[in-house]
Amino acid sequence: MAAPKAFADCETNIPDYEYTDVNTKVFHIGSFRNEWLSRLNPEDVSYEQEDEDAFDANFAKDMGIGAETMSELKSVCSIDSLRCHPEDQPPDMEVVPPDPTLKTLIQRKKRQDYKATLKRTKNRHDLYANELERSTLGRTPETVSDMVPEGEIILTINVYYPATYDKFTYVRPHATLLMMGSHSLAKLRDAICCVRDLQVCGEFSNNPDMAPDFVSKDHYKSAFFFFEGVFYNDMRFPECQDISMTTIEWAKSRNFPPYSQAKMEDTQFVDLKVKVGFPYLYCHQGDCEHLVIITDVRLVHKNDCLDKKLYPLLTHKHRIVIQKCAVCHLFISRWLTTNDQFAPSHPCLYCDKCFRMLHYDDQGSKLGDFLAYPYVDPGAFN
Ligand SMILES: [Zn+2]
Ligand SMILES: [Zn+2]
């Protein structure tokens, strides 16, 4: 991602590392795209496959070699010359020889062996961790109008989850999304799955059936992103509030540099000024704070997923260990109780069935003293 030093010194909208391998200096994403488009030839950006003769001619010219050397190179480097089987036998593509010497086969054998161990020891999530990415690579849409335009910007964005665990393990749970430069920040917000949006607040031990169906996201719609001194508020719905105002006023009264506001639904990524690799903030449900790090900004490539409808494209999702019911150890937890005389621990998690069987009689009357809160497991999004 780093720009050549000569460019970085004289240009402003090319990512230049502020701290090596950590983050770049601030630059404007739209101008960055324009810088690339003005420097590249149209065929570099195009999805069209260059015809082979033209490619060879250009390659020979770029490398400063003659036609004869070129054709010799082509035959020596041809994949037909890579073989580990007798010439008269058709190879079985699936079989890797037991002791390969070819580097590619050594790597492939490693991969196969690794997969075999995974199958024995790991679960389906680990097994298919790369599946998300593989299934969309090079995908093209059914209709041309759904095609990601040539020259579009693709951003790689990591969204981190608040570390609320007692044990901090250095594993920082996050999801990775690919987004287009023309996406608004509101699109990013909608693509972030956080369990806090699903939680229902309240104590319902006297009548568990009264626990409302609505989830927090339906009620508390305010949220903001914070990039480079600007709060981008979600103002799409009448009940949205500008929750950045408190911070802005606070900063003003203490002579901090001024912060400003904008609407996330009116802001596209190409409008933003950012540092690649720098931690920014997404805040929702009042105090649920996620770090957001843009790890890459680049032009779209013909091997990318080119179906607009599949963006924002999830390429990585951290799997969270599901908290099973403390009684049956079988089902996902739906209730959390405290001051519960029946509970093996405080607080305690139950599935819906065990919770009701243990705490209510046939008529649905509450047995004993306890407090009960609806619980949504963070693993609900796995
Ligand atoms: Zn959250
Ligand atoms: Zn249970």
pLDDT tens digit string along 43-54? 889 988 778 888
Instruction: Report how far ligand 2's centroid is from the alpha carbon of 63 (Å).
Output: 68
What is the whole-number distance in angstroms between the Cα of residue 121 and the centre of ligand 2? 26
What does residue 232 show for φ and ψ, rounded to 5 degrees?
-105, 100
**pLDDT band at residue 121, thresholds of 50, 70 and 90?**
low
Ligand lying closest to the C-alpha of residue 354: 2
Beta strands in the chain, from DSSP E residues, in sequence order: 17-19, 23-24, 27-28, 153-160, 174-180, 223-227, 230-233, 260-263, 273-274, 279-284, 288-299, 313-317, 335-338, 348-350, 371-374
Q: Tell me, what's the pLDDT at 130? A: 58
319 vs 202 pLDDT, higher one: 202
Q: 119 CA distance to ligand 2 centroid (A)?
A: 29
Helix-strand-coil split of the chain, %, nearest 5: 35, 20, 45
pLDDT band at 10 (very low <50, low <70, confident <90, very high): very low
Whether the pLDDT of residue 284 is over 70: the answer is: yes
Q: How far is the CA of 161 from the centre of ligand 1 (A)?
A: 7
CA of 291 to the centre of ligand 1 (A): 10
CATH topology for 131-317 is 3.10.290
| Conformational region of residue 345, where left means phi above 0, alpha means psi within -120 to 50, and beta covers everything else | beta
Q: Using a CB cutoff of 5 Å, list residues around ligand 2, an ion.
A: 325, 327-328, 331, 351, 354
Find the 168 Cα to ligand 2 centroid distance in Å: 28
User: Is the bond preceding residue 141 a cis peptide, omega within 30 degrees?
Assistant: no
| Ligand 1 centroid from CA 176, angstroms | 15
Report the range of poorest mean pLDDT among 6-10, 30-34, 87-91, 324-328: 6-10
Ligand nearest to the CA of 282: 1
CA angle 113, 131, 187 (to 5 degrees): 155
- What's the CA gap between 377 and 375, in Å, rounded? 6
* Helix, strand or coil, per DSSP, at residue 103: helix
- The ligand that comes nearest to the alpha carbon of residue 335 is 2
**Interval 212-268: pLDDT, tens:** 766 777 778 899 999 999 999 999 999 899 989 999 999 999 988 889 999 999 999
Centre of ligand 2 from the C-alpha of residue 336, in Å: 12
Q: What proportion of the chain, given as a percentage, has pLDDT over 90?
A: 43
**Domain layout of the chain by residue ranges:** 5-76, 131-317, 335-381
Residue 307 pLDDT: 94
What is the average pLDDT value for the chain, to the nearest integer? 85
